[in-house]
Structure 1
Amino acid sequence: MNRLPVVVLTGFLGSGKTTQLNAWLEQRQDLAVLINELGDIGIDQHLTRKAGVPVTLLAGGCVCCVVQGALSSTLRNLFMARKNGDIPEFSMVVLETTGAAEPSGVLAPLEQDPWLKKRFYCQSVLTVVDVAAGAASIQRHPECLEQIQAADLLLLSRTDQVAASELTAFKQQLAALNPEAACYPTPVPAEVLDRQFERRCRITGRLNSVVPSSALLSPMVSVPGTTTTPSRHQLYSASVIWEYPLSWGHWQAALKQLASQCGDALVRVKGLLKVEGLDGPLLVQWVGGAEPELTPMNQWPDDDTRTRVVLIVRHNDADFPHQQMAHWESLLEQLRSAPTH
Structure 2
Amino acid sequence: MSQVTHSPDIRDDRLPVIVLSGFLGSGKTTQLNHWLSQRQDLAVVINELGDIGIDQHLTEAQGVPVTLLAGGCVCCVVQGSLSSTLRNLFMARKNGEIPPFNRLVLETTGAAEPSGVVAPLQQDPWLRKRFVCQSVITLVDAQAGVAALERHPECLEQVQGADQLLISKSDLCTPDSLAALKAQIALLNPDASVLLSPGPASLLDQVFPRRCRITGPLTLSTGVSLQPQLSSVSVSRHQLHSASLRWEGRLSWPHWQAALQQLGNQCGESLVRLKGLLKVEGLDGPLLVQWTGQGEPALSPMNAWPDGDTTTRLVVIVRHDNPDFVHEQVAHWQALLQQLG
TM-score interval (norm. to shorter): over 0.9
The answer to whether the aligner puts 1:265 opposite 2:261 as a matched pair is no
In structure 2, list runs of 5 or more residues that go unmatched: 1-11
SS of the residue 2:219 aligns to: coil
Say whether 1:7 aligns with 2:56.
Answer: no
Question: How many Å separate the matches in 2 of 1:303 and 1:165?
Answer: 46
Match of 1:326 among 318, 331, 338: 331
**How far is the alpha carbon of 1:221 from its aligned partner?**
6.8
Match for residue 321 of structure 2? Answer: 316
Partner of 2:209: 198
* Aligned residue in 2 for 1:216: none
Q: Which residue of 2 aligns with 1:229?
A: 229
1:164 aligns with 2:161: no
Q: Compute the displacement of 1:318 (Å).
A: 1.2
TM-score (norm 2): 0.92
3-state SS of 2:328 partner: helix
1:277 counterpart = 2:282? yes
- Residue identity in the other structure for 1:300: W
Distance 1:138 1:275 in 2: 36
TM superposition score normalised by structure 1: 0.92
The CA RMSD over aligned residues, in Å, is: 1.3
Q: Offset at 1:137?
A: 0.5
The question of whether the paired residues in 1 share the 8 Å contact of 2:141 and 2:169 is answered with yes
Alignment match, 1:208: none
Q: Percent identity?
A: 68
Look up the SS of the partner of 1:129 in the other structure. Answer: strand
1:239 aligned onto 2:248: no
Question: Equivalent residue of 1:87, what SS?
Answer: coil
Structure 1 match to 2:69: 58
What amino acid does structure 2 have at the position aligned with 1:242?
W
SS in structure 2 opposite 1:14? coil
Kindly provide the CA deviation profile for residues 9-36 of structure 1, in whole angstroms up to 9, marking residues without a partner as x. 0000000000000000000000000000
Secondary structure of 1:326's aligned partner: helix
1:202, CA displacement in angstroms? 2.7
Number of positions where the alignment pairs a residue of Structure 1 with one of Structure 2: 322
Secondary structure of the structure 2 residue equivalent to 1:27: coil
What is residue 35 of structure 2 aligned with on the other side? Answer: 24
What stretches of structure 1 of length at least 5 have no aligned partner?
206-219, 337-341
Q: Distance in 2 between matches of 1:196 and 1:285?
A: 33
Q: Secondary structure at the match of 1:268?
A: strand
Q: Which residue pairs with 2:162 in the alignment? A: 151
**Hey, what does 2:148 align to over in structure 1?**
137
Q: Residues 265 and 204 (structure 1 numbering): CA distance in 2 closer, same or farther, change over 3 Å?
A: closer
After the TM superposition, list the runs of 4 or more consecutive aligned residues in structure 1 that deviate by more than 2 angstroms.
202-205
Q: Which digits, 9 at most, give the CA deviation of each residue in 1:45-72, with x for residues without a partner? A: 0001122100000000000000010000
- For residues 169-184 of structure 1, what are the structure 2 equivalents within 5 Å? 169-184=180-195
Q: For residue 111 of structure 1, what is the aligned residue in structure 2?
A: 122
